[in-house]
Chain A
Amino acid sequence: KAGVTQTPRYLIKTRGQQVTLSCSPISGHRSVSWYQQTPGQGLQFLFEYFSETQRNKGNFPGRFSGRQFSNSRSEMNVSTLELGDSALYLCASSLDIVRDLSYEQYFGPGTRLTVT
C-alpha cells in the first residue's frame, strides 16, 4: 500500500506571495492532518480534515487555510508569506478515528518551504 505523498517536496517563495501544498493520504484513510515543523517549535498542529470538513484547528493565523476533496486528498494554502513561515510542512493521514479508535497518524515526507 502506498504511503502518504506530498508535493512539491521543496519550494522557494518570496515574502508576500502565497503557496499551495498538496497531500494524498494512504488509500482508505479519510482523516488528514497538517503540521508545521520548525527547529525552535518542533511539530505544531495546523488543522485536520475529515470528509471534506475541517474538524479541528490549531493556533495559527487565518493566513493558513486548507481544504479536503471528496477523494480525501488535501491541500493547504498560506497567503501573504512571511519569513517565519519557512518550515517543513508535514501531512499525516489516519483511519476514521472515531469509528476505529485508531489514533495513529502516518506522515508523508513533508514539503520544505523557504521564504526569502
Chain B
Amino acid sequence: DQQVKQNSPSLSVQEGRISILNCDYTNSMFDYFLWYKKYPAEGPTFLISISSIKDKNEDGRFTVFLNKSAKHLSLHIVPSQPGDSAVYFCAASDTGANSKLTFGKGITLSVRP
C-alpha cells in the first residue's frame, strides 16, 4: 500500500514558467512533509518542508502548499530554470511515532530552455 503517491511520473515546462508538482498521501497520521530533488548519481537534496500546522511555506523560488483535508500537497517552482531539471520526491513523516520518511516514487521535471 503506497502511502505517498506522486501520480504523474514526469512533467515538462518552459523556462521561466511555473512548475507545479503534486503529491497525495493516505496516512492521516503524517504531520510533516518534505520535498527532495535528486540528480543522477547523487543522493536526494533537501529542498523545502512544511508542518501540518501550516498551509504554505516559501523559500525563494520554491513554495509548498498543504491541503490537509484533501491530503494533498504541491511544490511550486517560479520561475522554472533549466537547472531545476531533476527527479523530485515528496516525503512524509509521522513525527509522533518515529523519524522514518515515507517517499513517493518521484516526478521527473524537465525544464526546456
A interface, CB within 8 angstroms of B? 4, 31, 33, 35, 41-45, 48, 50, 55-56, 58, 90, 92, 94, 97, 101, 103-110
Contacts and interface: CB of A to CB of B under 8 A. Distances in A.
A104 B44 contact: no
Given A42-B105, A103-B49, A103-B95, 15 more contacts: A35-B103, A43-B89, A50-B99, A56-B98, A58-B100, A92-B101, A94-B99, A103-B32, A103-B34, A105-B99, A106-B46, A107-B36, A107-B44, A109-B41, A109-B42
B43 A108 contact: yes
Among the interface residues A33, A42, A48, A55, which one has the most CB atoms of the partner chain B within 10 A? A42
Contacts of B101: 33, 35, 43, 45, 92, 105
B45 A43 contact: no
Contacts of B42: 109-110
Contacts of B104: 42
Contacts of B46: 104-107
B102 interface: yes
Contacts of A94: 99
A9 to B, nearest CB: 9
A96 to B, nearest CB: 10
Contacts of A108: 43
A92 B42 CA distance: 12
